[in-house]
Structure 1
Amino acid sequence: MFVVTPDAGSSPELTLPHSADRPAVRPAETRPVQTLSAAGDLLRALAAPVRIAIVLELREHDRCVHELVETLGVAQPLISQHLRVLKAAGVVRGERHGREVIYRLVDEHLSHIVVDAVAHVEEGAGK
């Protein structure tokens, strides 16, 4: 259960209720609902296997659509659709070079989320 606590004159914040095995959340650990919502939007944008693969590829090198199509073996319209989702979420940005658009990650924080998720799954596979 989550508790939303409105603060006079500011955004509401989300606080986890306390339980016997989890201490009460200190005020420094509360987050505005808008921040949590934006984080949820970002995680949803990263939640497709093709988008995860795109992020992993862009972590290595900036790439254009046809390079991602070749590397990932996915149809061009599907790559373009996934790039639009990632771009709208602020994960990637594109820069036009002549007829091609070169895509790159906005920052390394985003690739760490994906790399950590993949590593977590791979570590669990060996158990």
Structure 2
Amino acid sequence: MNADKGTCSLGVDSQYVELAVEVFSMLADATRVRIILALREKEMAVGALAEVVGKSPAAVSQHLAKMRLAHMVSTRQDGTKVMYRLENEHARQLVVDAIHQAEHALGGMPAHHRAGQATA
């Protein structure tokens, strides 16, 4: 953050460029992207996330540990369960934008553009 203005620097010489690359690196895994998609509406326990993303609870737990260290997810204790949620809206938005960009690769008008159009 720019301490004088209270905003992030988006210049090419920003001190955050390398950190942004680390964020993209963290998201360069299909399981992590699926975890973020699963958590975008509600918090979930490891077992439920594992079922949704089609991976073992141990594998999901390892991904969540890395995502927690990267401040992408946070936890809350609920009895004997640990509930995971997105730390903030930014990881969710990055994934949504990446999927929208991927839709453009298919050619034609992507679904996210058609959703805003009125039907005739």
Report the TM-score range of the alignment, normalised by the length of the smaller protein: 0.7 to 0.9
Superposed structure 1 runs of 4+ greater than 4 Å apart? none
Among 74, 84, 99, the residue aligned to 1:93: 74
TM-score (norm 1): 0.72
Is the strand fraction higher in 1 or 2? 1
TM-score, scaled relative to structure 2: 0.76
* Structure 2 gap ranges (5+): 1-8, 109-120
Identity of counterpart residues, as a percentage?
A: 32
Measured in 2, the distance between the counterparts of 1:77 and 1:90 equals 20
Stretches of structure 1 lacking an aligned partner (at least 5 in a row): 1-26
Equivalences for 1:58-69 in 2 at 5 Å? 58-69=39-50
Query: 2 CA distance for matches of 1:28 and 1:52?
Result: 24
How many residues were matched structurally?
100
Which entry has the higher C-alpha Rg, 1 or 2?
1
Q: Root-mean-square deviation (CA), in Å?
A: 1.8
Structure 1 position 76 matched with structure 2 position 60: no
The residue type equivalent to 1:58 in the other structure is L
Q: Does 1 or 2 have the higher relative contact order (CA < 8 Å, sep 6+)?
A: 2
For residues 90 and 114 of structure 1, the distance between their equivalents in structure 2, rounded to whole angstroms, comes to: 15
Written as runs of structure 1 = structure 2, the 5 A alignment for 1:1-127 is: 29-33=11-15, 35-127=16-108
